[in-house]
Chain A
Amino acid sequence: MQFMLLFSRQGKLRLQKWYVPLSDKEKKKITRELVQTVLARKPKMCSFLEWRDLKIVYKRYASLYFCCAIEDQDNELITLEIIHRYVELLDKYFGSVCELDIIFNFEKAYFILDEFLLGGEVQETSKKNVLKAIEQADLLQEVRS
């Protein structure tokens, strides 16, 4: 996976994770283009599209779009389920997650993502294991403070 973007229906970027080195300028350009492209698509359309030389896999959950860019040989359907598993993780952690949770606790959203995906590849697919790691960290803090 080359990058993952979360953005709202209004086109506001909520989370961005880049697994390839790009300049800030390029990142902004890509984000702008992609948000536009994806938002322009109709609900019943398929979740995959070719974009530059990448494949884009996206899915909408309530007001949020989750959008991944994968390479040519990568599997689209499994990427769609990566998105779903991430949503499940957020949901479990926050307890029926909504966009606001991700806005106010953006750092947690990043931490959870890092436990699940690392360097653009799936690190741990077990929901239990990922959440265990995150909760342990939270526990560490609570004990100390």
Chain B
Amino acid sequence: MPAVSKGDGMRGLAVFISDIRNCKSKEAEIKRINKELANIRSKFKGDKALDGYSKKKYVCKLLFIFLLGHDIDFGHMEAVNLLSSNRYTEKQIGYLFISVLVNSNSELIRLINNAIKNDLASRNPTFMGLALHCIANVGSREMAEAFAGEIPKILVAGDTMDSAKQSAALCLLRLYRTSPHLVPTGDWASRVVHLLNDQHLGVVTAATSLITTLAQKNPEEFKTSVSLAVSRLSRIVTSASTDLQDYTYYFVPAPWLSVKLLRLLQCYPPPDPAVRGRLTECLETILNKAQEPPKSKKVQHSNAKNAVLFEAISLIIHHDSEPNLLVRACNQLGQFLQHRETNLRYLALESMCALASSEFSHEAVKTHIETVIAALKTERDVSVRQRAVDLLYAMCDRSNAQQIVAEMLSYLETADYSIREEIVLKVAILAEKYAVDYTWYVDTILNLIRVAGDYVSEEVWYRVIQIVINRDDVQGYAAKTVFESLQAPACHENLVKVGGYILGEFGNLIAGDPRSSPLVQFNLLHSKFHLCSVPTRALLLSTYIKFVNLFPEVKPTIQDVLRSDSQLRNADAELQQRAVEYLRLSTVASTDILATVLEEMPPFPERESSILAKLKKKKGPGTVMGLEEGKRERGPDINGGPEPAPASATSTPSPSADLLGLGAVPPAPAGPPPSSGGLLVDVFSDSPSAVAPLAPGSEDNFARFVCKNNGVLFENQLLQIGLKSEFRQNLGRMFIFYGNKTSTQFLNFTPTLICSDDLQATEPADQARGSDSGRGRAGAAGCQHRVCVGLHRSTSSQHPVQVWRNLSECVRQVAHHTQQVFPAHRNGLPGLLSALEAAEQSPAGGAEHFQGKASNGHRNHQSQDYWVWFRAPGRGRSESCQFCGSRDHPHQNHADRVLVALGAEPPGSDVPAHAADEQGDRLPEAVCAAVGAVLAPRLLAQPLSAQLQARQPASSLRVDGMAQCEDRG
């Protein structure tokens, strides 16, 4: 036990603490504590009134026990009693207990607030100080309610002591942080600003903190603080180190206040010219002083000086208007990059990141590239290396991208696991962004997979495929490179995915070389097959069927593989199904059909890199966005040109107008819409003109309807538009709900619904089929609109081939609708197909979601009605490929996934869902084709092969059904 205990020692407390420290085990400690708690409880409950000293001692013991990490459930009342003691230390302990153990007991809060009120009014400065400290420590809402009015008065009153002013300022700050609405700025605002002129530097420091926080929300009210802050700062930085007496810290004049003033100035844009000149002088002085030889060897001196320097640099970066200062700042930071203090190296790297995004200092930052790369290799502290990676990323541009990417890649081999994924994302982004030569890009990404395959997220390898597909100059190279990479004895599964996909698309480009002949390619891929997970195997199966099309000579080999039990009877439904379908496809389809169906992927639409989005999400908006946006926004700013109109803010009303107006507003956006030019298409389609005005995220909202019938279509601060849809047989019904999110009533709110030609387009073109399908009806009842969309039926009394054509036509129509409703997909069919797949992949196997109605009421196919019955699946999926909605592979050609249900039923009857199972044993021939073969819109135009005429019964569309079907084939 230490001998010295200033003030008044509490012997009992010291003994108790010693006891606890002497406890040998946790159990002994708990025992001792319980004993003490029992003792204190009995003392508090005892008949004898305790004197102030004992009460204080016991409350203090309770506090100690609490701070040890034990729960305290009594003693609050005694602590509150202490507050009204006249003895300072008793009061002090009472307040300490309250500050540490705030209890939300309302009765107690009232008592506490009363005690505080008394002390504030006591005119005893020390009591007042305690009360203010307590408010600042607790800072609860109740206290804000009770004292938010009183404290500003204390703060600005002329006769308040300096120390009370300081406490009052920080008290108010704390209350403002907890409950800003309870602390409205009033007339005291201007008087608080004038505290910046106060003689007492402690008061100025506290007031600056308060003003900085308040000014962030109400810049107008506090803008006079700018010139006062500048002159105060100027006086400090020009003062000699002894002028400020005790406010000089290790020869640095008032470092805390300087930092706070510089921080306050960062709440405002560069000030008016007069003040600005003075501020620039200040900043120059700070930069100069940082260069002077140190006045002390102590680290405190250098820290305090550099704290001011870094804050000054932050302000310079914030203003971003003085090229000289920016470049100087960069040079001075450059010196720190090799400083022996780790802290300074860390901070220099961090600050330089911000400098790199300013166009004035970007080049200056780049000159330090070698030092930063060295830091990456030699720094022992991972957090410093992380900063170096950030800085390399920030300083990267076209001129140094190859070097930086190469360095990052080589660092990746030894990088800490905690930062690998981020580095992978950064490398992938830089490689794409600054690629002049896409072969370099492909090499980089493949290296990335080789070095850190586990950290390569889906976004990264999706992206490389998107790019290879979109750029035909790199396809041959990509095929060659993946082929070579795949020859490594052990390669990462991600490489197998990329390899499988690319060879499936472009394997033909390297097939001329006997070393990479079709069979070699196939064998290479297939040698990896058994090592891969199910999704990768599924992808490989798709590659195989693509090979069947690309290289007819390997068809028998592939068919053998597909036919093997391990595929055809695979326990995994997805693999089994693919094997069955692909095998069937390869047998029944003619080469023409195969070529059409398995055609090379069309280019992907250009969009923001999904990797960038991922990095943003990972790092929060600050780091990455800052960099990107910073570079982009500079242009107009400097040229004085008009700023680009913020997309979301100003145009918020337009999305709703677009949606509701459905083109009542002028003709469709520029350029004819891809398909039939209907208005629905404009609204829902993926074309940028229509989607652009939508608030961020609304595209996601659309995509949601791929797998949900109901949900929110659009939402902003004012309005929520909900969509509810139901589908039955050939009819679909959509309810649109408008939710007013404001507290006021909408005036002149008139949703307009135009049923355009597009809806009628659902009507089969061939009138001979005479269906009752396409029907558009708009009813305006209040705020609810209904749109009935009919999917249509086709009637056929012709040859099966004709039936098949009709079916195709149906599918095309369905696909067309799908496109309208699910615009996330580039063209109708994949949209439909992914919806199908969504259903398929649902736990129930999809049968219940996606009803294939196949009933044959007449047993005679010559006079039947065939229906395509489409229903959006009712259950959601957790994740899906961003290209097409599929879960396991990026936009593999979906033509193979056709599972469109074909059925025949008497028009108008409401056939139960399971009718197919009951009476499906005589499904029209076309069903088999639909199950086994492939369908693409363009199939329509082609004569169907005779194979379609084969008649085969099938009971349902589920896998077992198909397997059965296959067997009989």
- Note all chain A residues with C-beta closer than 8 A to B96: 107, 110-111
Chain A residues whose CB sits within 8 angstroms of the CB of B234 once the complex forms = none
Measured CB to CB, the closest approach of chain B to A94, in angstroms, equals 7
Interface membership of B342, Cβ < 8 A: yes
Asked whether B173 is an interface residue with its Cβ less than 8 Å from the other chain, the reply is: yes
* Chain A residues within an 8 Å CB radius of B967: none
* Closest chain B residue to A103, Cβ basis: B17
B305 nearest CB across to chain A (Å)? 9
Q: Which residue of chain A is the closest to B250 with respect to CB atoms?
A: A81
CA distance A142 to B311 in the complex (A): 44
A125 B202 Cβ-Cβ under 8 A: yes
B254 touches A145 (CB 8 A): no
**Contact residue among A13, A72, A104, A114 (Cβ-Cβ distance under 8 Å from B2):** A104
Q: Roughly how many angstroms separate A141 CA and B92 CA in the complex, as a whole number?
A: 11
Contact of B310 among A50, A77, A103, A127 (CB under 8 A): A77
A30 at interface (Cβ–Cβ under 8 A)? no
B206 near A48 with CB under 8 A, answer: no
Selected from B67, B92, B247, B383, the residue in CB contact (under 8 A) with A137 is B92
Query: How far apart sit A133 and B620, CA to CA, in the bound complex (Å)?
Result: 43
How far, in angstroms, from A21 to B64 measured CA to CA in the complex? 21
Contact A81 B303 (CB under 8 A): yes
Complex Cα spacing A48 to B14, Å: 36
Q: Is the CB of B174 within 8 A of A119?
A: yes
- Which chain A residues lie closer than 8 Å to B126 at the CB level? 136-137, 140
Contact B346 A93 (CB under 8 A): no
Residues from 33 to 83 in A contacting B, C-beta threshold 8 Å? 42, 44-50, 53, 72-73, 75-78, 80-82
Contact partner, B170, options A50, A121, A136, Cβ 8 Å = A121
Chain A residue nearest to B140 (CB atoms) is A21
**8 Å CB contact of B88 from A19, A47, A129, A141:** A141
Contact between B342 and A44, CB atoms less than 8 A apart: yes
The answer to whether A46 touches B170 (Cβ under 8 A) is: no
Contact A78 B300 (CB under 8 A): no
Q: Check B347–A77 contact: CB distance below 8 A.
A: yes
Q: Which of B14, B202, B304, B383 contacts A123 (CB 8 A)?
A: B202
Note all chain B residues with C-beta closer than 8 A to A24: 71
Please give, as numbers and ranges, the residues of chain A lying within 8 Å of B283 by CB-CB distance. none
User: Is B293 an interface residue when CB atoms closer than 8 A count as contact?
Assistant: no
> Does B666 reach chain A (CB closer than 8 Å)?
no
A36→B585 CA distance, assembly (Å): 60
Question: How many residues on chain B are close to A (CB under 8 Å)?
Answer: 77
List the A residue with the shortest CB-CB distance to B252: A81
A119 and B171 in contact, given A94-B4, A141-B8 (Cβ under 8 angstroms): yes
Beyond A48-B383, A119-B171, A133-B163, whether A125 also contacts B129 by CB under 8 A is no
Docked complex Cα distance between A127 and B88 (Å): 22
Among residues of B, the one whose C-beta sits closest to the C-beta of A145 is B8
| Distance of A111 Cα from B7 Cα, bound (Å) | 12
Judging by beta carbons under 8 Å apart, are B7 and A108 in contact?
Answer: yes
Per-residue CB proximity of B57-83 to A under 8 Å, as 1/0? 000100110010101000000000000
Q: Is the pair B173, A119 in contact by a Cβ cutoff of 8 Å?
A: yes
B256 lies within 8 A of A125 (CB): yes
Given the complex of chains A and B, what is the CA–CA distance between A95 and B2 in angstroms? 12
Contact A142 B8, beta carbon cutoff 8 Å: yes
CB within 8 Å of B: which of A118-145? 118-129, 133, 136-138, 140-142, 144-145
Task: Say if the beta carbon of B747 comes within 8 Å of chain A.
Answer: no
The answer to whether B7 and A106 have CB atoms under 8 Å apart is no
- Bound together, the chains give a CA A92 to CA B173 distance in angstroms of 29
Using CB atoms, name the residue of chain B closest to A140. Answer: B88
Known: A126-B247, A137-B92. A119 touches B383 (CB 8 A): no
| Given A13-B67, A126-B247: A46 touches B5 (CB 8 Å cut-off) | no
Contacts of B14 in A (CB 8 A): 104
State whether B249 touches A81 (Cβ < 8 A).
yes
* With A28-B69, A76-B343, A140-B88: A123-B8 Cβ-Cβ less than 8 Å: no
- With both chains docked as a complex, state the minimum distance between the C-beta of B16 and any C-beta of chain A, in angstroms: 10
B255 within 8 A of A: yes
Q: Chain B's nearest CB lies how many Å from the CB of A74?
A: 8
A137 near B89 with CB under 8 A, answer yes
Q: How far is the CA of A2 from the CA of B92 in the complex (A)?
A: 23
Q: Given A76-B347, A119-B174, A81 and B92 touching (CB < 8 A)?
A: no
B contact residues around A15 at 8 Å (CB): 67
The yes or no answer to B257 lying at the interface (CB within 8 A) is yes
The answer to whether A84 has its CB under 8 Å from any CB of chain B is yes
Contact present for B166 and A124 (CB under 8 Å) = yes
Tell whether B622 is near chain A: CB-to-CB under 8 Å.
yes
Q: Quick check: which of B131-139, B468-476, B844-852, B907-915 contacts chain A, the rest being far away?
A: B131-139
B246 touches A93 (CB 8 A): no
Q: Assuming the A-B contacts A53-B620, A75-B259, A118-B167, are A46 and B89 also in contact, with contact meaning beta carbons closer than 8 angstroms in the complex?
A: no
> Shortest beta-carbon distance, A7 to chain B, in Å?
12
Query: For the complex, would chain B's binding face be called helix, strand, loop or mixed by DSSP majority?
Result: helix
- CB of A90 to closest CB in B, whole Å: 12
Partner of A144, one of B60, B87, B167, B306: B87
Q: How far is the CB of A19 from chain B (nearest CB, A)?
A: 8
Cα-based distance from A49 to B256 in the complex (angstroms): 21
Residues of A within 8 A of B786 (CB): none
A110 to B171, CA, bound (A): 17
Query: A57 CA to B5 CA in the complex, in Å?
Result: 31
Nearest-Cβ distance from residue B47 to partner chain A, whole angstroms: 26
Asked if A114 meets B202 with Cβ closer than 8 Å, knowing A21-B178, A46-B342, A136-B126, the reply is no
Interface contact B303-A77, CB-CB below 8 Å:
yes
Closest chain B residue to A12 by CB distance?
B68
Residues on B with beta carbons closer than 8 Å to the beta carbon of A73: 263, 266, 314
**Is A50 a contact of B383 with CB atoms below 8 Å?**
yes
Given A81-B300, A119-B174, A122-B209, A13 and B69 contact (CB-CB distance below 8 Å): yes
Q: Shortest CB–CB separation between residue B120 and chain A, in angstroms?
A: 15
A21 CA to B314 CA, complexed, in Å: 29
How far apart are the CA atoms of A48 and B344 in the complex, in Å?
10
**What are the interface flags for B764-800 relative to A under an 8 Å C-beta threshold, 1 for contact and 0 otherwise?**
0000000000000000000000000000000000000
Residues on A with C-beta less than 8 A from B93 are: 107
Determine if B871 is an interface residue (Cβ-Cβ < 8 Å): no
Residues of B within 8 A of A44 (CB): 342, 380-381
The answer to whether B761 has its CB under 8 Å from any CB of chain A is no
Known: A45-B380, A142-B7. A111 touches B92 (CB 8 A): yes
**Chain A residues within 8 Å of B206, by CB:** 118, 121-124
Minimum CB–CB distance for A142 against chain B, Å: 7
Q: Let me know if A75 and B140 touch, CB within 8 A.
A: no
Give B93-108 interface residues, CB cut-off 8 Å to A: 93, 96, 99-100
A63, B304: Cα distance in complex, Å: 24
Q: Are A128 and B622 in contact (CB under 8 A)?
A: no
Contact check, B343 vs A47: say whether CB atoms are below 8 A apart.
yes
Residues of A close to B255: CB separation below 8 A: 78, 81
Chain A CB within 8 A of B345 CB? yes
Q: Is the CB of B307 closer than 8 A to any CB of chain A?
A: yes
The distance from the CB of B297 to the nearest CB of chain A, in whole angstroms, is 15
**Is B6's beta carbon under 8 Å from chain A?**
yes
User: Does B228 have its Cβ within 8 Å of any Cβ on chain A?
Assistant: no
Whether A119 and B170, one on each chain, are in contact in the complex, defined by CB atoms closer than 8 angstroms, is yes
14 other A-B residue contacts (CB within 8 Å) besides A46-B342, A75-B259? A44-B380, A46-B383, A81-B249, A82-B256, A101-B2, A104-B1, A107-B63, A110-B100, A111-B96, A122-B209, A123-B166, A125-B257, A126-B202, A137-B88
**29 contacts across the A-B interface (CB closer than 8 A):** A44-B342, A44-B380, A46-B381, A49-B383, A50-B386, A72-B622, A77-B306, A81-B256, A81-B304, A82-B256, A84-B300, A84-B303, A104-B1, A104-B17, A105-B2, A110-B100, A111-B96, A114-B133, A118-B206, A119-B139, A119-B170, A119-B174, A120-B174, A121-B209, A124-B206, A129-B163, A136-B126, A137-B7, A137-B126
Smallest CB-CB A-B distances: 3 pairs: A77-B307, A119-B174, A138-B7
Interface residues of A (CB under 8 A from B): 13, 15-16, 19, 21, 24, 28, 42, 44-50, 53, 72-73, 75-78, 80-82, 84-85, 93-95, 100-101, 103-108, 110-111, 114, 118-129, 133, 136-138, 140-142, 144-145
